Amino acid sequence: MSTATIRIPTPLRSFTGGADEVTVGADTVRGALDALGERHDGLIPRILTETGEARPFVNIYLGSKNVKTLDGLATTIADGDVVSIIPAVAGGRS
């Protein structure tokens, strides 16, 4: 099992007691998110849908790569990897 750091975006830090990073043990991105959810109640429904996929306006990165371009949530993680949860930002001038 690998140890990875999950970076928590500001809007979700109320679920982690204000922590901006959480360290978990897992072999895949999905496993890391599962471990995160076990420790921080109410967080995973804001990241994943009921079917277990990333919500449409949430991007999940492993290092600098969006997991959508890799093996999705089944992407393997290695010791020291960083998983970032990035909410999509919309807006601009009309």
User: How deeply is 58 buried, as exposed, middle or buried, from its count of CB atoms within 10 A (0-12, 13-18, 19+)?
Assistant: middle
- Predicted confidence at residue 88, as pLDDT, reads 84
The domains found in the chain, sorted by start residue, are 2-87 (3.10.20.30)
Quote the Cα angle for 49-67-75, to 5°. 95
Res. 94: pLDDT tops 70: no
Query: 43 with 37: CB under 8 angstroms?
Result: yes
pLDDT in tens, 48-60: 999 999 998 999 9
SS3 category, 65: strand
